[in-house]
Structure 1
Amino acid sequence: MGLRDDELGAWFAPGDAVPVQGETTWSFLHRVAVCYGLEAGELLAWGWWQWVNPVTQSRGRRPDGDVLLNVMAQAQVAAWAGVPVAHLARALPSWTAGPASLGERARADRGWARWRVGAQAWGPVSFGCRLCAARRSGRSQRVWRYGQRWNRVCSRHGRWLLDVDDGHDLEYLDVGGCQELAAAQARWPRVARRAVSTGAEPGAVFAVARAVVCGWWQQEAFWQREHVWGQRLERVTLDTSRRNEAAAQWPAAWWQLVARDAVVFPEVVAVAAALVDPALRLLVSDERPLVRRSRRHDRFMTALGDRLERGWLKEVEWPERPSALQTWMRGVARELRSPSRSASPHSGIWWVPAAHQPAEVGAGLRLLATTPPVAFRGHAGVAGWRAELYVPRRVGRGAGLKAVSEERFWEGLGHARRYVVRHGHLAVPHAGAPQDGFDLGRWLANLRAASAGLPPEFVRALAELDVWWNPPWPISWQRAWHRARAHALAHGLVSGDDNLAGMSRWLERWLRQQIAEYSRLAAEQQQLLAQLGLTAAEIDRFHACPARRRSVLHGLEAAHDYAARHGHLAVSQPTSHDGFALGKWLNQVRHRQRAATQPTRLGRRLTAPDTWWNPPWPLDWQRYYWAARHHLHGLPEGVVWWTGAPDEDQARQWLHAQQASWHLLQPGQQELVSGAARGGVARCRFSSGASAHERDT
Structure 2
Amino acid sequence: MAATYCLQFTDLAAWWRWVNPIPRRHGERPDGEVLLDAAARAQLAGWCRIPAGHLMRALPSWTAGPEVPADRNRGADAQGWARWRVGALEWGPVVFACRLCAARRGAGHDRVWVYRPPWRRLCARHSRWLLKAGEGHPLEFVDVSTMVGELGRAQRRWGRVEAAAQAAGVVPGEVFALARAVVCGWWEQEEFWAWEVVWVSRLDGVVAATRRWCSGVAGWGDAQWRLLVRDAVVFPEVVAVAAALVDKRLVEKAGKQVEGLLRDRAGVEPFAAMLGERLDRPWLAAVETTGTPGPLARWVAVTAREQRKPDGALPLRGFKGKWSVRGPHRPVEVGAGLLLLAQSSPADDSGQDGGATGGCLSGQSVVRQPSAGPGWALRQRDAELFAQGVEHARCQVDRFGHLALAHTENGVVDGFDLGRWLARRRAEAVSLTAEQAAQLARLDPWWNPPWPVGWQRFWYRARRYVDGHGPVHGGDNLDGLVQWLQTWLRRQILLYEKLHPGQRELLTELGLTAGEVERFRAWPARRRHPGEALAVAQAYAARFGHLAVTGATVIDGFSLDAWLSSARRRQRTANRLTRLGTRLSALDAWWNPPWTLSWQRMWWAAHHHVHGLPEGARWWPDAPGAEGALTWLRQQHTHPSLLLPGQQQLIADLMRIGGRGPVWQPRISDQAWQTLAELLPSRPVGDRRYRSDRQILEGIIHIACTGHSWPHIPEELGSFATCRIRFQRWHADGTLARICHTVLPESDTHWQQQLADYIGRPAVDG
- TM-score, normalised to structure 2's length? 0.47
Greater RCO structure (CA 8 Å; 6+ sep): 1
Deviation for aligned residue 1:474: 6.6
Within 5 Å, give how 1:331-350 maps onto structure 2. 331-338=302-309, 340=313, 342-350=315-323
What is the one-letter code of the residue matched to 1:158?
S
Cross-structure match for 1:325: 296
Cross-structure match for 1:191: 161
Deviation for aligned residue 1:360: 1.5
Q: Do the aligned partners of 2:268 and 2:296 also contact (CA within 8 Å) in 1?
A: no
CA distance in 1, matches of 2:36, 2:232: 35
Q: 1:99 aligns with which of 66, 78, 84?
A: 66
Relative to structure 1, is the Cα distance of residues 367 and 417 closer, same or farther in structure 2, using a 3 angstrom cutoff?
same
For the residue of structure 1 that corresponds to 2:337, the secondary structure is helix
Q: 1:164 aligns with which of 118, 133, 140?
A: 133
- For residues 617-666 of structure 1, the C-alpha deviation after alignment (integer angstroms, 9 at most, x for no partner) is xxxxxxxxxxxxxxxxxxxxxxxxxxxxxxxxxxxxxxxxxxxxxxx9xx
Deviation for aligned residue 1:247: 3.3
Q: Do the aligned partners of 1:150 and 1:185 also contact (CA within 8 Å) in 2?
A: yes
Deviation for aligned residue 1:415: 13
Cross-structure match for 2:196: 226
For the residue of structure 2 that corresponds to 1:113, the secondary structure is strand
Deviation for aligned residue 1:169: 0.9
- For residues 221-256 of structure 1, the C-alpha deviation after alignment (integer angstroms, 9 at most, x for no partner) is 101111111211111111111111233862111112
- For residues 585-616 of structure 1, the C-alpha deviation after alignment (integer angstroms, 9 at most, x for no partner) is xxxxxxxxxxxxxxxxxxxxxxxxxxxxxxxx
Cross-structure match for 2:109: 140
Q: 1:473 aligns with which of 434, 438, 442?
A: 434
- For residues 552-611 of structure 1, the C-alpha deviation after alignment (integer angstroms, 9 at most, x for no partner) is xxxxxxxxxxxxxxxxxxxxxxxxxxxxxxxxxxxxxxxxxxxxxxxxxxxxxxxxxxxx
Cross-structure match for 1:8: none
- For residues 71-129 of structure 1, the C-alpha deviation after alignment (integer angstroms, 9 at most, x for no partner) is 222122223344332343343222222133x5668999213322112212211121111
The two structures, once aligned, show a CA RMSD in angstroms of 4.6
CA distance in 2, matches of 1:72, 1:371: 52
Aligned residue-pair number: 410
What is the one-letter code of the residue matched to 2:335?
G
Relative to structure 1, is the Cα distance of residues 191 and 111 closer, same or farther in structure 2, using a 3 angstrom cutoff?
same
For the residue of structure 1 that corresponds to 2:234, the secondary structure is helix
Relative to structure 1, is the Cα distance of residues 33 and 305 closer, same or farther in structure 2, using a 3 angstrom cutoff?
farther
What is the one-letter code of the residue matched to 2:254?
V
Q: 1:261 aligns with which of 228, 231, 234?
A: 231
- For residues 397-448 of structure 1, the C-alpha deviation after alignment (integer angstroms, 9 at most, x for no partner) is xxxxxxxxx9xx99x989995895378799899xx96644998688689999
- TM-score, normalised to structure 1's length? 0.51
Within 5 Å, give how 1:52-71 maps onto structure 2. 52-55=19-22, 57-58=24-25, 62-71=29-38
Relative to structure 1, is the Cα distance of residues 320 and 218 closer, same or farther in structure 2, using a 3 angstrom cutoff?
closer
Relative to structure 1, is the Cα distance of residues 435 and 53 closer, same or farther in structure 2, using a 3 angstrom cutoff?
same
For the residue of structure 1 that corresponds to 2:65, the secondary structure is helix
What is the one-letter code of the residue matched to 2:173?
G
Relative to structure 1, is the Cα distance of residues 187 and 434 closer, same or farther in structure 2, using a 3 angstrom cutoff?
farther
Cross-structure match for 1:362: 335
CA distance in 1, matches of 2:100, 2:10: 25
For the residue of structure 1 that corresponds to 2:66, the secondary structure is helix
Within 5 Å, give how 1:49-128 maps onto structure 2. 49-55=16-22, 57-58=24-25, 62-100=29-67, 109-128=78-97
Q: Do the aligned partners of 1:68 and 1:98 also contact (CA within 8 Å) in 2?
A: yes
Deviation for aligned residue 1:207: 0.7
Q: Do the aligned partners of 1:334 and 1:342 also contact (CA within 8 Å) in 2?
A: no
Relative to structure 1, is the Cα distance of residues 336 and 475 closer, same or farther in structure 2, using a 3 angstrom cutoff?
farther
Cross-structure match for 1:309: 280
CA distance in 1, matches of 2:198, 2:318: 35
Q: 2:150 matched to 1:180? A: yes
Deviation for aligned residue 1:302: 2.2
CA distance in 2, matches of 1:474, 1:103: 61
What is the one-letter code of the residue matched to 1:127?
F
CA distance in 1, matches of 2:17, 2:332: 39
Q: Do the aligned partners of 1:242 and 1:248 also contact (CA within 8 Å) in 2?
A: no
Q: Do the aligned partners of 1:415 and 1:440 also contact (CA within 8 Å) in 2?
A: no
CA distance in 2, matches of 1:95, 1:428: 58
Relative to structure 1, is the Cα distance of residues 447 and 504 closer, same or farther in structure 2, using a 3 angstrom cutoff?
closer
CA distance in 2, matches of 1:56, 1:153: 33
Within 5 Å, give how 1:338-487 maps onto structure 2. 338=309, 340=313, 342-370=315-343, 417=392, 421=396, 435-436=409-410, 472-473=433-434, 475-476=436-437, 478-484=439-445
For the residue of structure 1 that corresponds to 2:153, the secondary structure is helix
CA distance in 2, matches of 1:443, 1:60: 44
Relative to structure 1, is the Cα distance of residues 481 and 417 closer, same or farther in structure 2, using a 3 angstrom cutoff?
closer
Moved more, 187-196 or 418-427: 418-427
- For residues 313-346 of structure 1, the C-alpha deviation after alignment (integer angstroms, 9 at most, x for no partner) is 1110118731010011011012112375742312
Deviation for aligned residue 1:478: 4.8
Q: Do the aligned partners of 2:66 and 2:82 also contact (CA within 8 Å) in 1?
A: no
Relative to structure 1, is the Cα distance of residues 507 and 124 closer, same or farther in structure 2, using a 3 angstrom cutoff?
farther
CA distance in 2, matches of 1:242, 1:441: 59
Structure 2: runs of 5+ lacking an equivalent: 346-380, 448-455, 468-498, 506-615, 617-766
Q: Do the aligned partners of 2:35 and 2:64 also contact (CA within 8 Å) in 1?
A: yes
Structure 1: runs of 5+ lacking an equivalent: 1-31, 373-405, 449-467, 493-502, 510-663, 665-697
Q: Do the aligned partners of 2:392 and 2:418 also contact (CA within 8 Å) in 1?
A: no
Q: Do the aligned partners of 1:123 and 1:147 also contact (CA within 8 Å) in 2?
A: yes
CA distance in 1, matches of 2:268, 2:393: 36
Relative to structure 1, is the Cα distance of residues 117 and 433 closer, same or farther in structure 2, using a 3 angstrom cutoff?
farther
For the residue of structure 1 that corresponds to 2:105, the secondary structure is helix
Moved more, 76-85 or 475-484: 475-484
Cross-structure match for 1:209: 179
CA distance in 1, matches of 2:224, 2:201: 17
CA distance in 1, matches of 2:220, 2:205: 15
Q: Do the aligned partners of 2:299 and 2:323 also contact (CA within 8 Å) in 1?
A: yes
Relative to structure 1, is the Cα distance of residues 220 and 361 closer, same or farther in structure 2, using a 3 angstrom cutoff?
same
- For residues 29-48 of structure 1, the C-alpha deviation after alignment (integer angstroms, 9 at most, x for no partner) is xxx667x4769x65964743
Moved more, 260-269 or 298-307: 298-307
Cross-structure match for 1:150: 119
